[in-house]
Amino acid sequence: MSAQRRALFRVSTGRRRLVLAVAFVIAFVAVVAGATLAAPPALAAGSYFHGTYAGIHGVRDYHGYVPSSYRPGVAVPVVVALHGCTENDVGFDLLSGWSEEAERRGFIVVFPDQNNLVNPAGCWNWPLSINQHRGAGEPAIIAGITGRIRADYTVDARRVYVTGVSAGGVMANIMAVAYPDVYAASSILAGCEYACDVFQSRPAVESGHDALAEMGSRARPVPTVIWQGTADKVVPPSTADRIAVQWAVVDHIDTTPDSVDHGQVPGGRTYTHLTYRSASGEPLIEQYLIDGAGHSYPGGCSCSLYGDPTGPDATGLSWDFFLAHPMP
């Protein structure tokens, strides 16, 4: 683990709680006064940054990483990465390696952090209706953090992406539906379809219709890559197909994959890779179904309970997918 990552890992929990408490007071004053909370200045390139976003929908901490290759005035992509339950932003960074990927490949990554006061387990509150729509609840907060990064740095507006795992995967899907004009593509790991039906009692196509209704006049195909372990005991593996059906409805393509390939990580897990293409042949939906994997992050760090280093590199492959799908 690099010195930077060790320093990030040692962030004091007590200090974070104090900052959060102060931020709530500031946010309340800002809302009452109709003021805009000033953003902290962007830190030097090649380093971690952190901040607190406060708006009328709530307050959340975040941290991120700016690669050493960054130069003000030269636009770079951004990835918004959402952690799962019982995690936080720092833990997800260590698990996924997104900051290391950002340094290697020249983009900014930001990790919004759920507030344990609004969810003691650290989950994004995706089951609540208010958190499934544009301009409300947690989606508005995450979009606000995204906007903060776009204001602080020189960002390529056509290359802003969203990803997440578990509860963060569900929220990443919501963000792609609610803000298709902001996020060019998404990567969903062990997530759920829009308006998630945990009992899977209704046809998945209805989720696609719900997504189209939410997107409204902004509706467009949002390229999506989906990851799912076949032995997941938390998220039923069939959920990956339901997410694919949702996006197929939105994309106006059929729900049968156009290609099915099989692969294996050297010395690791086997997996099935499915691709759904548009009429012009563009890959709009991809799925990685990982044989024998549980509720874990494929290719993730063994330093985390949720890391599965024997799986395909979800972070690197997601970035490859993002690179191929800028905003139209």
Q: Taking Cα atoms as reference points, which of 213, 237, 215 lies closest to residue 227? A: 237
The residues, ordered by sequence, that sit 6+ positions from 90 with a Cβ below 8 Å of its Cβ are 8, 9, 11, 63, 111, 113
Per the residue annotation, which of 166, 186, 207, 318 is the catalytic one?
166
C-alpha atoms less than 13 angstroms from C-alpha of 261 in its C-beta half-sphere: 9
Nearest-angstrom CA–CA distance, 289 and 228: 5
The helix/strand/coil state of 62 is strand
Burial of 328 (0-12, 13-18, 19+ CB in 10 A): exposed
Residue 162 phi, psi (nearest 5): -135, 140
Which spans in 34-184 are helix H? 89-96, 98-105, 137-152, 167-178
Nearest-angstrom CA–CA distance, 167 and 190: 8
304 is catalytic: no
Nearest-angstrom CA–CA distance, 161 and 318: 10
Spell 184-198 as b/e; 16+ CB within 10 A means b.
Answer: bbbbbbbbbbbbbbe
The residues, ordered by sequence, that sit 6+ positions from 296 with a Cβ below 8 Å of its Cβ are 190, 229, 306, 307, 308, 311
Helices (H) and strands (E) in the chain, counts: 9, 12
Q: Which residues carry out catalysis? A: 166
